[in-house]
Structure 1
Amino acid sequence: MILTADHLITPARTCAAAWVRVDGDRILEVGEGRPPSPADRHLPGTLVPGFVDVHCHGGGGASFTTGDASDAQQVVAAHLRHGTTSLVASLVTDGIDELERSVRALGQLVTDGQLAGVHLEGPWLSRDYCGAHEPTLLRPPSPEEVDRLLAAGDAAVTMVTIAPELDGAIDAVRRLVRAGVVVGVGHTDATWEQAREAIDAGATVATHLFNQIRPLHHRRPGPIAALLEDERVWVELVSDGTHVHPAMLRLARTGAPERIMLVTDAMGAAAAEDGDYRLGPIHVRVRDGIARTPTGAIAGSTLTMAGAVRHSVASGFTLEQAVDAATRAPAAALGLADVGEIRRGARADFVVLDGDLGVTHVMRAGVWVTRHR
């Protein structure tokens, strides 16, 4: 099958009048100009790689935090309609028994290829920056708990967020990295020095930078400065107009231009209606598209990756920068080798954007998803 498009962002380069050849679930060729034989279909608009979201708790009215496979599939389907072809299921802080059950259930969907992995956002976080996490369930990491949750998923756990100032945290970072898990620094009151120690131990992601983290200070720079300035670190941003001011989005892009990765941090109300939801053990109320706990803390977002791309462009990113941050960068951060780019050998995951950056078509693994507008 040969597809042509008005424009194509790979995202390594931008082409006009480009084409791709697909066989089964793989990309065979990518070219610019006229295809070598007549196209099977022309796609008006801009063809970009399928979006890669590595931090998502729910959507479509459902949540990963229930640990129920049918709920998880509902989340995947909701975000797929909005262009996310690779999705990592994020779990919030809960009891170890509950987390173990959730990891075990979601691990089967990772094995089946429906999910790209599982992200443990908690329970090894700071109480001072817990956000929408239940503070009574937060704790320092122990080797036994780390090993137990890793074993539950049978290699399904791909990322863990941790606060490096906690007792045993640096040892936990090393333990996780040895197991092949990506470690994020977030929900933390760490000093600059403690954040640097975590990075040197192998942490490579800043979990939703600027949110629930000790803020910047000119004499006590804290973890934000350490994460932004180190080229080993990929930087998550929730670009929805609520979590981070556009000026701070631009600051992060300037400080880490090739390392920005857009994430949704979405909860159940993403691609769904306002109302009352659960985020793990926490009750969340969504009004006007903003999710908050009873204490007023922001409880994830109602964002899709397509929305994150649009808001980033409106905030000063070029379309190429926004697409890169929604595709190549998150895939590279988590070592997802065959997604995030339109290139020979990659999985045939595509999104077509119209002039307003709305999603008109989605393909995952060579199969068209129901057209969405």
Structure 2
Amino acid sequence: MTRKIFTGARIFDGHRFHDDKALIVSDGRVEAILAKNDLPAGEQVHLDGGILSAGFVDAQVNGGGGRMLNDEPSVASMHMIAEGHRPYGTTGLLPTLITDTAHATTAAIEAATDAVKTNRGVAGLHLEGPHLAPARKGAHLAQLMRPVEDSDVRALIAARQSIGTLLVTMAAEQVTPRQVRALSEAGVIVSIGHSDCSSEAAEERFDAGARGVTHLFNAMSQLGHRAPGLVGAAIDHPSVWCGIIADGHHVDPKALRTALRAKRGEGKLFFVTDAMSLVGSDRETFTLNGRTVRRERGGFCSKLVLSDGTLAGSDVDMASTIRYGVTYLDLALSEALRMASLYPARFLRLKNHGHLSAGSRADLVHLTDAIEVTRTWISGEAA
């Protein structure tokens, strides 16, 4: 048995803080949290203050470390993206393919099937398209968008069986409740997004099994007092999870604070980065479906825009979203940490991620008191 004893930091187990305790890790799994005067033998890992938490889980990562998944949907790209986000505390993520060709989608599925087996931070795959609504296309290419066919349902169910964790973003206009039910019952995680639907249409898909909403407020029908839209349906439905982009550009903090107060269903809002390739890179531009995206510096963090000013994903990392939550959204540090770890893991049904309980994966991040990442571990090994 390989045992490591982590001491010297406050431990956040996903639910509460533990002071003057030690985290015991055996063979890549959490064994226990113990008082420092009751420790077994093992390799000592002393941390100089700060916070030791479960590593962050990101359900929507288009790129990082200089690579976009769409550029090359391969195992190597997925590893590069995961490694690009690891310095910011993310130890488990879903590489995300935005709307693309059938060939690219097939390649991404094949790559994810292999990448999840390597224990290098790839926890599954997110397909954000092509079943989106052109009316809410955002930075996606409308000409590639199309309705879900029954052959797509069969292919996605097969992909889920090979990958394990498969998240698909679909517009309510492009998928029927019957198709949502078939996907959900087979374990595919369906999220409604890039949709101009009514609240009633959204609720039909939620009741059929759609589990979440992709980047709440962005690229969707908004909350009106007589037409609540997808935003209103998502906030009101108690079982629906909502990813949010907290970077100071995608959503005004007043809207996010309102959603945090209003959301029915405890712990159903979680952070996503929607990050592009420039996270973890010093480049200033990249290409998305043949279009140049540039980094504009300023504000809480930089923003990424097309030539017409359309936001094209984000330039934010997960540690920064936690700082944003504490600073601008009135979140307690414990809740901000949960929104980056425990809640997204629950949404994705990753039972052994996002918390430090006996038997959970020892995917760890050490933070300073200023919420800056110093070190990460995957299955107890320095990463």
The two structures have a TM-score, normalised by structure 2, of 0.91
Given that 1:5 and 1:47 are in contact with CA atoms closer than 8 Å, whether structure 2 keeps it comes out as no
Separation in 2, partners of 1:215, 1:86: 31
Give the superposition deviation at 1:132: 0.9
Equivalence for 1:165? 173
Deviations 1:306-352 (A, max 9, x none): 11111111111110010000011000001101110011100111111
Given that 1:16 and 1:33 are in contact with CA atoms closer than 8 Å, whether structure 2 keeps it comes out as no
4+ residue runs of structure 1 moved beyond 6 angstroms? none
Q: Tell me: CA distance 1:97–1:153, structure 2 relative to 1, closer, same or farther (3 Å).
A: farther
Map 1:146-295 onto structure 2 (within 5 A).
Answer: 146-151=153-158, 154-156=161-163, 158-166=166-174, 168-256=175-263, 257-280=266-289, 282-288=291-297, 289-295=302-308
Separation in 2, partners of 1:54, 1:94: 19
Deviations 1:147-176 (A, max 9, x none): 23443565325111111123x432321221
Separation in 2, partners of 1:63, 1:154: 25
Given that 1:134 and 1:282 are in contact with CA atoms closer than 8 Å, whether structure 2 keeps it comes out as no
RMSD value, Cα: 1.8
Give the superposition deviation at 1:33: 5.6
Separation in 2, partners of 1:32, 1:130: 53
Give the superposition deviation at 1:275: 2.2
Map 1:1-373 onto structure 2 (within 5 A).
Answer: 1-32=4-35, 34-37=37-40, 40-43=44-47, 44-65=49-70, 66-114=72-120, 115-151=122-158, 154-156=161-163, 158-166=166-174, 168-256=175-263, 257-280=266-289, 282-288=291-297, 289-315=302-328, 316-369=330-383
Given that 1:60 and 1:75 are in contact with CA atoms closer than 8 Å, whether structure 2 keeps it comes out as yes
Q: Secondary structure at the match of 1:132?
A: coil
Separation in 2, partners of 1:93, 1:281: 13
Q: Secondary structure at the match of 1:111?
A: coil
Give the superposition deviation at 1:17: 1.6
Deviations 1:254-296 (A, max 9, x none): 1235111111100101121242213355542223231112332
Give the superposition deviation at 1:240: 0.9
Deviations 1:66-115 (A, max 9, x none): 21322221111111121111111111001112211222123210233331
Give unmatched runs, 5+ long, in structure 1: none
Q: Secondary structure at the match of 1:299?
A: strand
Deviations 1:13-58 (A, max 9, x none): 1122221111121111113564435881321211111000111111
Given that 1:19 and 1:35 are in contact with CA atoms closer than 8 Å, whether structure 2 keeps it comes out as no
Separation in 1, partners of 2:279, 2:146: 29
Separation in 1, partners of 2:38, 2:366: 18
Given that 1:349 and 1:363 are in contact with CA atoms closer than 8 Å, whether structure 2 keeps it comes out as yes
Given that 1:238 and 1:265 are in contact with CA atoms closer than 8 Å, whether structure 2 keeps it comes out as yes
Separation in 2, partners of 1:37, 1:356: 31
What is the percentage of aligned positions where both structures have the same residue?
33
Separation in 1, partners of 2:64, 2:39: 41
Pick which of 154-163 and 330-339 moved more: 154-163
Q: Tell me: CA distance 1:21–1:243, structure 2 relative to 1, closer, same or farther (3 Å).
A: same
Given that 2:90 and 2:318 are in contact with CA atoms closer than 8 Å, whether structure 1 keeps it comes out as yes
Q: Secondary structure at the match of 2:232?
A: helix
Given that 1:96 and 1:145 are in contact with CA atoms closer than 8 Å, whether structure 2 keeps it comes out as no
Give unmatched runs, 5+ long, in structure 2: none
Separation in 2, partners of 1:227, 1:11: 25
